[in-house]
Structure formats: structure tokens, C-alpha cells
Amino acid sequence: MSGQEIGLALSVLLACAVEAVEAVTVVLAVGITRSWSSAFQGVGAALVALAAVVAALGPALTALPLNVLRLAVGGLLLVFGLQWLRKAVLRAAGLKELHDEAAAFVREREQALAAGEVVAGGRDPYAFAVAFKGVLLEGLEVAFIVVTFGSNQRNVPLAAAAAVVAVALVVGLAVAVRAPLARVPENAMKFSVGVMLTSFGMFWGAEGAGASWPGSDASLLVLIPGTLLVALAMVRWLARGVRRRSPALGEAA
Amino acid sequence: MRRLRAIAAGIWDFVVGDDWLTALGVVLALAATGLIADGNAAAWVVMPVAVIGLLASSLRRASR
């Protein structure tokens, strides 16, 4: 397996695991409080919609000339990566609330309980809609990453396999603990995904625009740790500002 | 018409997110890379510099 393929598999695996944890929280909340069968129907419908997106976009992207594909995909990955990284840096610096799956589960459960009674044995539109929306919205970003990473390296099957492994791991864990996965280091995983997306976005975007990286693919071995170091430096810079503005808050962060 | 507008807004939100200045900066950095690469110079330098600048300015706006 080449370095780029390892990067592809790792990025998709982490991104997919993060989104799967969030989707599982939503499905657990509506499944436990309302109707498991309707929640599973919602999950199934969302998975079909996601598969359709991948099936439609994958071949369309691989038909593009490689340079055009790398420019477009690199640019999009970079925009995505910078969004993930910005939120991850803000969380790590204490300027944005850490994502808490236990709290998200309680919130979803309260909303589900407040949405009226469930007809015994009947189909529950609320559970269906919430599960469908949760899985579709969390899955769209992953589908996009699978398609862009996979098509760029002409290896959609590897990207799809990494996504399937991630979902299987998360669902397996959720079934085992029968509770929201609050102990998964979600914020650290989001930080890693932001670093990977930004690094690959820079690499492919510049190549697509006509630039040549010194050392070709090996430059990723500098770009990825370099991006991580820059992001960590920005966490320290922001955290110092937080401490200056409010010493007590800074200590808590 | 309303549905089309909602779809367009959804796509914009999905791709660009809540910081359109960063997205615009990425487009400009890629364009600059292309222009410099045409002149056979070391165009790869543009992207790392742009990413550091874009991330720092985005964080500065978000932390205000």
C-alpha cells in the first residue's frame, strides 16, 4: 500500500467514524424513546440515498482529466479541511464547546419524548424522519470525502471499504455498550481529519493548478506533520489569548 | 422556486460553510498557484503560505 493510499484509507476511516458516532447517537435516541423499526427504516432510506450520491458522483468525477479533477477536488477538500480544522482548533483552545455525545443524546431523547405519543405497532414518522435526516446529513460529508479521495487516486473501492470498516466498528461498539459513545475521542479525531483534508487539499490543489511539489508524493510526509504543527501552534496562540482575557476560564480550558 | 432556493442554500452551506472568506481565499490561492506555475517558478510555495494565512485569519474572526 502506497503512502497516498494509507493517507486515503486513514482519512476516510477517521472522518467516517466521527460522523458515524454522531449519527448513532441520533438513531439510539429515537430508537430507545420511540420506535426501533421506524428508526431503522429511516437509516435504511438514508443509506440508499447516500449510495445513490456515491454511485452518481463517483463515475462522473473519474471521467474528468486528472489535472482538472485534482484542482477541483483539491480546492473542495481544502475548503472542507479548513472548516474542520478551524472548529477543532477553536475547541482545543477552549473557545468552542467540546462535542459531548452524552449531552447530545439527552437533548435528542427529550425532543423525541416531547414529539407526541407513539402508536403501538404503527409506523412512527418522527423516528423515521429524525433517523433519516441524522444519517443523511452526517453521511453526506463522508460520501463526499469517499468520492473525492477515491476518484482522485482512482481507488473508490479502497475509500468505500475504509468507510464500511469505520461504520461497522462504530455500530459494533454502540451495540456492545448499548449507549451513546461518549468516550470516543471525537474531538481529537476531528482534529486529525482536518489536518489530513487540509494537507491533501493543498497537495492535490497545487498539482492540479500546475505546480510540482519537491520530492513529489514524499512531500506529503512534510505537509501533514507541518499542518499539524501549525494547527497546534494556533491552539496555543488562541489559548494564550483566552487566558489573558479570563484567567479562570483559561485554566478550565 | 422556493425549493430550488432552499437546495442552492443547502449546497452553499455544505460546500462553503459559515466562512465564505476562507473559501474565496482558497480559490484565489489556487489561481495564484496556476499563474506562478505558468511562469515556471516554484509555485508550490503558495498553498502552504495561503493555508497558514487563511486559517489564522479565520480563527481571528471566529475568536473575536
> Which whole-number Å values give the CA distances from A94 to A11, A241, B30, in the listed order?
25, 10, 32
C-alpha cell at B37: 506555475
Backbone angles phi, psi at A185, to 5 degrees: -75, 70
Residue A253 pLDDT > 50: no
A-B interface: how many C-beta pairs under 8 angstroms?
A: 99
Q: Which residues of B touch A194 (CB under 8 A)?
A: none
Distance from CA of B63 to the nearest CA of A (A): 7
Say what the pLDDT of residue A182 is: 66
Q: Which pLDDT tens digit goes with each residue over A68-114?
A: 888 988 998 899 899 989 999 998 888 877 667 777 778 877 887 77
* Interface list for chain A against chain B, based on CB atoms closer than 8 Å: 71, 74-76, 78-79, 82-83, 85-86, 89-90, 93, 95, 140-141, 198, 201-202, 205-206, 208-214, 219, 223, 226-227, 230-231, 234, 238, 241
CB contact under 8 A, A78 and B26: yes
Contact A211 B43 (CB under 8 A): yes
ipTM: 0.90
Angle at alpha carbon of residue A13, lines to A11 and A234, rounded to 5°: 40
Distance CA(A76)–CA(A7), nearest Å, equals 17
Return the pLDDT at A186: 77
Cβ–Cβ < 8 Å for A157, A59: no
Q: What digits encode the pLDDT tens for the residues A206-244?
A: 999 999 999 888 898 899 999 999 999 999 998 887 777
Please provide the average confidence, as pLDDT, over all residues in chain A.
84
* CA distance to partner chain A, nearest, from residue B61 (Å): 11
Alpha helix ranges (H) inside A178-219? 186-208
DSSP character string of B13-63: HHHTTT-HHHHHHHHHHHHHHHHHHHTTS-GGGHHHHHHHHHHHHHHHHHH
